[in-house]
Structures are given as C-alpha cells and as structure tokens.
Amino acid sequence: MSKFINSASRQFILAIFVYIVLTPALVDGRRISNGVNKSIIKTIKVDNDEIIDCYDIFKQPSLDHPSLRNHTIQLRPSVYPKNTKLDNPGTLQLTQTWHKYGTCPHGTIPIRRNVRKHYDSTLFRKQRRPKPFHNKKPNTLQSNEDSEIHEWATIKMHGSFIGAQAKINLWNPMVESSSEMSVSQIWVRAGPYNELNTIEAGWTVDPFYFNDSQTRFFIMWTGDGYKHGCVNLLCPGFVQTSSDIGLGCNFTEMSTFNGDQKDATFSIHKDQNSGNWWVQLQGISLGYYPSSIFNRLSKTADGVDFGGEITNARSNGIHTTTQMGSGHYPSEGGLGISSYFSHVQVITENNEVIDNPENVQLYISNPYCYDLKVDEKRTNGYSFYYGGSGYNDKCQQ
C-alpha cells in the first residue's frame, strides 16, 4: 500500500515538474518557430530603445528582394584595391557601443530593431530626394515636389570609378526638427538625376529614422533617382556578411571641440569578379549591394562625392539652425574646430587607388550657411574641412 502511494506521489511530483519546467519551453518553442523569429538566433539588449537581433546570415530579410531570390551570398570580397590604406583605420577603438553588451555568433548578422515601423517609399522620397535643380541656387528650387530643401558642402569628382574611401571626423551636430537630418558621407553614383543610382555611406544624425539625436552609422541606396531605395536595411537590397557591425548603431566615441578627435574609415568598393559593391567600416567588410539591384551601377560609377548634407525644413519660416559637421565653419579653424575628411581616395576601373585626386570640383550650395575648404597642406592625404551652423546674419533664407 505505502509502496503504491509513494509511486503515485512520485508521479504527481514528476507531473508538476514537467508542467512547471517544460511548459514555458514549449510555448517558447512554438513562438520562435514561426516566421521571422526562426531567423533570429540571439537577441542583445542595449537599452529600451536599442535591441539588436542576430539573424542567420542565410535567412536575412534582404534576400526577399525579387532579383535576389536565387542569390548566393559572397562571404568576403575576392579582391581589395591596390595601395589601399585599409591598414590605416581611424582613431576609434571599440567601433560600436552595443559590443559592450554582447556579440553576434559566427554565421549571424546584427540587425537593429526598427524604431520607425511604418517605413515606405513615400517617406523615403520626402526626406531623401533632393528637389530637382533648375538653376544653381537650391533655395530657389521649384516647389512642386513634396520634399525638404537639401543643402550641401561637398567635393565632386567625375570619371569611371569603382570605389571611394575616406576617414571622416565623428561629431554630433544639432538637428533642429524631427523631419531634418545632418549627414557626413561618401556618394558613389551613376546616371542622370531622374535615374540616378547611388550607394552612400557615412554617419548621420537623423531623428526622422532613429527618433533621437545620436550620431549613427548608415548606408543608403537608390536605383531610380531617390523614388525608391532606403536607408540601412529598411528595404531589401543590401546583403550583410559581418557579425561585428550593425547598421544604424552608434559609435563609442565622438570628437570634442578643441579636444580629442575621433574619426573612422568608410569605404565603398566594387569587387569586379562578383560585381558586388562592398561597404567597409574601419577596414571591416560589412556586406554588399549586389550589381543586379542597379541598372547603372551594374557597371562602374560615373562620379563620387564626399562631404556634408543637411535638410532645411524652415520650421520657423527662416533657415534652419541644423548644424553640419561640428557646427563650425572652416574659416573658424581646422583640426578640433571644424569637421574634416582626410585620406580621401578614389579607386579607378583598373582597381588602382588614387591618393591625390585631380579635377575636384567644390559643390557648396550656400557658403554662408555651410562651407568647405580644401586643406592645401595635404599632411593627411587629400583632406578638407567643412560644416557650419546654418542660420546666421548671412544665412537667413
């Protein structure tokens, strides 16, 4: 009799054990077996606004692009440009903040969870598509397009290129309104305005996408003059391979006025064997835009640009106070005062790196608002200072 009770209670205890310990696991098992979550191998929480999911590299959302249905992922570039300065990364030690909270396992890629969920191409056009140019003054552009006024302080080079790279000084410019942005970046482009193909990489302060004022790493592409395309991984296209670098993540350190300067090396380079346009940060290959998503950049670029861009929403009926670069003009001073690009390099069709680019055009929409000055000393390769504070006595409209 006692033997029977013992066995029954043992079964009862075992049943409770199974219920308590295994039920949540079964629920979890069911939850992670559907849809997107099957691709997420690990989640890293930085804080409430910053969550990184480590996706199985072969199940990343970008592969949903129609032209990438049968895509075979290239895990690393097959060639590097000759004479490249990738052995010379910027002054950042730990590249991105989230590394302090965990790492994504080998075979996975970090994807920052989107703050802005209802992303679509109308929003992309409104913010990113510069109004078409009808004369040289961007502030007198025709206003039939529902988009912000864009302003630039950049250098431009024309020619057949397959890459561009530079060290960009890292700053945290103030952005006035939540529909504006301030970026410092590299453009690789091909085609006329309406069909423009671009690949862009750099840093941005962009409350519109990120709902905060932090300086973040970003990339962007369009295949049709900014009618479609996107920032980071908000639409399919970019195939990521790195488990170390997260798009839209912030940097660990920023430069301070008259203090320590931080910079990072950004690079865009076409692997001519595969046709893929690789993006690198600090010499780390992040991933690539396949040639097949472009019509023009499926071949070489016909130009590259470097510098700053802002959008001016004129929220108070006057020119925005949104800053570019450090918020200080090159005329106020160089290192530690205004922001810089150094070791500006372009890569020719023959995969040769050009250290001292020629035929450089300055493209400054209004030097009283944002300016750019080439550093003639060239102590750090081809370099320039750029930026400004926006609204002032001479920058009103």
Ligand X SMILES: *[C@@H]1O[C@H](CO)[C@@H](O)[C@H](O)[C@H]1NC(C)=O
For residue 70, state whether it binds ligand X (rule: CB under 6 A).
Answer: yes
Task: Determine contact, residues 42/108, Cβ cutoff 8 Å.
Answer: yes
Reduced to 3 DSSP states, what percent helix, strand and coil does the chain have, rounded to the nearest 5?
20, 35, 45
CA distance 19 to 89: 54
With CB under 6 A as the contact rule, the residue among 195, 224, 244, 253 that binds ligand X is: 253
Q: Is 48 in the site for ligand X (CB under 6 A)?
A: no
The span from the CA of 284 to the CA of 105, in Å, is 16
Can you tell me which of 84, 165, 197, 250 binds ligand X, judged by CB under 6 A?
A: 250
Known catalytic residue at 148 = no
In the complex, the smallest distance separating the C-beta of residue 35 from ligand X, rounded to whole angstroms, is 5
CA dist., res. 109 & res. 314, Å (int): 39
Q: How many CB atoms lie within 10 A of CB 274?
A: 16
Cβ-based nearer residue to ligand X, 30 or 394: 30
Question: Between residues 68 and 86, which has the closer beta carbon with respect to ligand X?
Answer: 68
Give the nearest distance from C-beta 303 to ligand X in angstroms.
29
CA distance 324 to 389: 6
Q: Of 355, 328, 352, which Cα lies nearest the Cα of 167? A: 355
Residue 214 vs 300, nearer CB to ligand X: 214
Of 327, 323, 364, nearest to 152 by C-alpha is 364
Using the rule CB under 6 A, is 91 a contact of ligand X? no
50 is annotated as an active-site residue: no
Confirm or reject binding of residue 34 to ligand X (CB under 6 A): yes
Token pair belonging to 89:
């990364």
Q: Which of 148, 151, 180, 309 is catalytic?
A: 309
- Give me the 173-212 binding string for ligand X, x by CB under 6 A, dash otherwise: --------------------------------------x-
Minimum Å gap between C-beta 179 and ligand X is: 13
Give residues in contact with ligand X (CB under 6 A).
31, 34-37, 43, 46-47, 50, 67, 69-70, 97, 115-116, 211, 214, 250-254
